[in-house]
Amino acid sequence: ITVEGNLFIDGMAPIVFTSAKPVGMRRPGDWGGVLLMGNARNNKATEGYRVPVEGLAHIECHGWHTDKFNDETSGDLEYVRIEYASRQLSMDSETNGLTLASCGSGTKLSHVMVSGSADDCFEWFGGTMNADHLIALNCEDDMFDADDGFSGNLQFLFGRQFGTTTESDSSGFEIDTGIRQSVVLTPNTAASSSNFTI
């Protein structure tokens, strides 16, 4: 991974997470992506069991089946570009450009662009965080994906996709709640999105 800073937005130079390969040789999937993890509610968690995050070789867990940590923070990510990320560990277990796992409402996500991801640009697994001013550009799967009881507000979103992708079911938005043993998990995913162009 290479971290660069060279484009000014509103007088600020963004942090750029990108491939370590030379310019012109960078491709989707060159590195694993950025993951923010927290302890907010996740509908796949059960009493005493936290959820392993997708796409990692070593188990790292997030989320609880309680509202106790819904206000916590997993930090601030502002004025950031993430490029050429996402790795697949196995079928249905991959990282995204930006993976947000059970992050609480104290987490700040603003003015972030993900481009050239080999999977989703942005994916929320549970959590209660809000986000604004997000750009999803030319990812191989979904632009904005919310799962596992995510209940945040997303505002000022822009997504643009390649004419074709490597995935057969790429979408601007994918919203899932989850099922275990034919039972729909609660709380339901309740992502609210406004002021967006896809």
DSSP class of 169: S
User: Could you tell me the pTM of the whole model?
Assistant: 0.92
15-18 and 2-4: which strand pairing? antiparallel
Helix H segments across 75-184?
none
Q: How far apart are CA 144 and CA 194, in angstroms?
A: 13
153-160 and 144-147: which strand pairing? unpaired
Q: Which of 146, 43, 57 is nearest to 95 (CA)?
A: 57
The pLDDT of residue 168: 74
Q: Which of 90, 197, 83 is nearest to 144 (CA)?
A: 197
The pLDDT of residue 166: 74
Q: Give the pLDDT of the chain (198 residues) as one tens digit per residue.
A: 555 555 555 666 789 999 999 999 999 999 999 999 999 999 999 988 999 999 998 999 999 999 999 999 999 999 999 999 999 888 888 999 999 999 999 999 999 999 999 999 999 999 999 999 999 999 999 999 999 999 999 999 999 987 777 777 789 999 998 888 888 899 999 999 999 999
Q: Contact 71/103 with Cβ under 8 angstroms?
A: no
Partners of residue 135 on adjacent β-strands: 113, 158
